[in-house]
Chains A and B, each alone.
Chain A
Amino acid sequence: SQTIHQWPATLVQPVGSPLSLECTVEGTSNPNLYWYRQAAGRGLQLLFYSVGIGQISSEVPQNLSASRPQDRQFILSSKKLLLSDSGFYLCAWSVFGTREQFFGPGTRLTVL
């Protein structure tokens, strides 16, 4: 069966510090991968998605970047965090060519 992991689960970082969040998927090959941000426990905002290694599409201009160094690894990064980067970050995967997405447990990021 497929599983998706995210770490860390929680993170408190000062303004101006770098960020690296990691997401890995097991039990499937060539998945589509997604990064979302959720504010205040409400709707999900798509940040990035990837249909293959090295292929990243950005949905919202911002302080963040994403990379996919391996087939089942997706990384969300920032060089300098802003207060507005605080939120709940979710990684998701889907079978290539389908629309059903399966979410990881999330990372709660607080920027102080």
Chain B
Amino acid sequence: TQLLEQSPQFLSIQEGENLTVYCNSSSVFSSLQWYRQEPGEGPVLLVTVVTGGEVKKLKRLTFQFGDARKDSSLHITAAQPGDTGLYLCAGGGSNYKLTFGKGTLLTVNP
């Protein structure tokens, strides 16, 4: 069974701070996705990474896929209250299913 562990589980920071959240596994994934979910809504896809070592940037968000395709990180620069939400990583294997981590709940205080 493939498992994804996300850390930290909870993170509360002030507006303007930088932060990094992590997604780790002992399994190799063919792709890894990051989603953000707001309370009472469905997750929204932010990015997909597929190549070991790949880095993608989405405005103030930087996503990296580990060289061995077992881990990923999400770095947010100058966090804003609008970044508040549950950040979920999900790994894709050899079929069409995704394995989700339990998420990092981020609160950015104004």
Contacts and interface: CB of A to CB of B under 8 A. Distances in A.
Contacts of A101: 33, 45, 90, 98
Interface residues of A, number: 23
Range of interface residues on B (Cβ < 8 Å): 20 to 34
Interface of A: 32, 41-44, 46, 49, 51, 59, 90, 92, 94, 97-106, 108
B44 A99 contact: no
B100 A44 contact: yes
B92 A99 contact: yes
Contacts, number: 55
Contacts of A99: 30-31, 33, 48, 92, 96, 98
Contact of A44 (B45, B88, B92, B96): B88
A102 B102 contact: no
B3 to A, nearest CB: 10
Q: Give the top 9 A-B pairs by smallest Cβ distance, nearest first.
A: A103-B42, A99-B92, A43-B102, A44-B100, A42-B102, A103-B43, A106-B42, A43-B100, A32-B96
A108 to B, nearest CB: 7
